């Protein structure tokens, strides 16, 4: 998979950047955590999990295994009818989110740059800079409504939106499954390069290639249980 084609290196970006403070204060910690249905059926059980600032965590697992529930549990927000038991501690309140379809993160009819300016206190310069970074720097693109963007462009706009929130935690749920291979690679490279080193990225996906490309840590969920998976690239795991 060709992830880092623009900066003169063929190594995945995450191979060159391990989280700086793994072992320091966790961004979010779960202890003896269980998510149940209202009638008591356990859907997800996490005995212990600490995620450190700056990690790129990729969560894989089959459909229905509990990936999205794990994302919800990291944020501390569960769907109505679910019950959380156990310990959860987090040092953040804001969360950025990249959905499966970029359009779902955006107002469909508001001009792109205008709606991005609303999510950041840093102002128009920062919006322009981030739009350059995601390859949407054409002024005509700034004026387009998200419904006038291609799927890949909308996904890049959703990445821009998540970055502009400047949230400590950015979640992505199947962010590349609606994209072709080239657009997938481009989106993964963007996620890895644009998100600040102080920001933590957690991606849920069916696609093992995402873990190979992006992860500093790979967690697999199967039937509501989690397990750490060694990374396939030698020397990458922090
Ligand atoms: N609000 C809910 N009420 C009852 N059961 C739920 C609820 N949300 C999820 N579940 C169940 O919990 C299990 C895990 O769901 P989850 O959405 O986390 O799976 P997933 O791994 O993200 O699947 P997919 O890859 O298909 O999105 C599934 O059996 C699902 O039906």
Question: pLDDT tens digits, residue range 62-71?
Answer: 999 999 999 9
Q: Ligand 1 pocket test: which of 33, 46, 66 has the largest number of ligand atoms within 8 Å of its C-beta?
A: 66
Q: 218 is written with which tokens?
A: 């790979």
Per-residue pLDDT reduced to its tens digit, 147-176: 999 988 999 999 999 988 889 999 999 998
The pLDDT of residue 3 is 32
Backbone φ, ψ for residue 18 (5° rounding): -90, 150
Taking the C-alpha atoms of residue 118 and residue 56, their distance in angstroms, rounded to an integer, is 27
CB 161 within 8 A of CB 116: yes
Please state the rounded mean pLDDT for residues 56-84: 96
Backbone φ, ψ for residue 132 (5° rounding): -65, -45
Any idea which of 13-17, 22-26, 97-101 has the lowest mean pLDDT?
Answer: 13-17
What are the DSSP E strand ranges found in the chain?
28-37, 42-51, 56-60, 82-90, 95-98, 169-173, 200-205, 217-222, 225-229
Any atom of ligand 1 within 6 Å of the Cβ of 69:
yes
Q: Return the percentage of the chain with pLDDT > 70, whole number.
A: 87
* Widest pairwise Cα distance in the chain: 55
Q: Across the strands, what pairs with 96?
A: 170
Centroid of ligand 1 to alpha carbon of 65 (angstroms): 7
Q: Ligand 1 pocket test: which of 38, 67, 99, 222 has the largest number of ligand atoms within 8 Å of its C-beta?
A: 67
Per-residue pLDDT reduced to its tens digit, 32-44: 999 999 999 999 9
CB 152 within 8 A of CB 98: no
Centroid of ligand 1 to alpha carbon of 119 (angstroms): 30
Q: Ligand 1 pocket test: which of 69, 78, 177 has the largest number of ligand atoms within 8 Å of its C-beta?
A: 69
Nearest alpha carbon to residue 198 among 27, 14, 3: 27
- Per DSSP bridges, beta strands 217-222 and 56-60 are parallel
Any atom of ligand 1 within 6 Å of the Cβ of 43:
yes
Please state the rounded mean pLDDT for residues 206-234: 88
CA-to-CA separations, 212 to 169, 231, 233, in angstroms, rounded: 21, 7, 7
**Bigger pLDDT: 190 vs 238:** 190
Q: 147 is written with which tokens?
A: 């419904």
Q: Ligand 1 pocket test: which of 65, 80, 220 has the largest number of ligand atoms within 8 Å of its C-beta?
A: 65
Q: Is the pLDDT of residue 210 over 50?
A: yes
Nearest alpha carbon to residue 100 among 201, 187, 212: 187
CA 133 to chain centre: 17
Nearest alpha carbon to residue 218 among 206, 209, 205, 231: 231
Centroid of ligand 1 to alpha carbon of 44 (angstroms): 9
Backbone dihedral region for residue 138 (phi beyond 0: left; psi -120 to 50: alpha; all else: beta): beta
For the complex shown, is ipTM > 0.90?
yes
Q: Is the pLDDT of residue 90 over 80?
A: yes
Any atom of ligand 1 within 6 Å of the Cβ of 42:
no
Any atom of ligand 1 within 6 Å of the Cβ of 80:
no
Please state the rounded mean pLDDT for residues 112-139: 86
Nearest alpha carbon to residue 55 among 228, 185, 175, 234: 228
Distance between start and end Cα atoms, the chain: 21
The pLDDT of residue 18 is 54
Q: Whose CA is nearest to atom 14 of ligand 1?
A: 66
């Amino acid at each position: 998979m060709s992830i880092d084609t623009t900066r003169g290196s063929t190594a995945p970006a995450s191979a060159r950047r391990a989280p700086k403070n793994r072992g320091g204060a966790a961004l979010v910690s779960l202890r003896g955590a269980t998510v149940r249905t209202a009638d008591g059926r356990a859907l997800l059980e996490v005995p212990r999990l600490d995620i450190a600032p700056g990690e790129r965590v990729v969560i894989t697992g089959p459909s229905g295994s509990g990936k999205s529930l794990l994302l919800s549990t990291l944020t501390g927000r569960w769907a109505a009818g679910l019950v959380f038991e156990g310990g959860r501690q987090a040092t953040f309140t804001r969360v950025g989110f990249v959905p499966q379809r970029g359009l779902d993160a955006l107002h469909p009819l508001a001009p792109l740059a205008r709606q991005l300016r609303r999510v950041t206190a840093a102002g128009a310069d920062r919006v322009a800079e981030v739009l350059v970074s995601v390859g949407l720097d054409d002024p005509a693109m700034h004026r387009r409504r998200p419904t006038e963007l291609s799927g890949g462009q909308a996904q890049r706009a959703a990445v821009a939106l998540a970055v502009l929130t400047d949230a400590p935690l950015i979640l992505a749920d199947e962010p590349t499954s609606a994209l072709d291979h080239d657009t997938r690679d481009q989106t993964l490279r963007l996620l890895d390069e644009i998100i600040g080193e102080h920001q933590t990225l957690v991606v849920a996906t069916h696609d093992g290639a995402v873990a190979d490309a992006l992860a500093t840590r790979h967690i697999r969920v199967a039937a509501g249980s989690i397990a750490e998976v060694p990374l396939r690239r030698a020397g990458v795991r922090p």
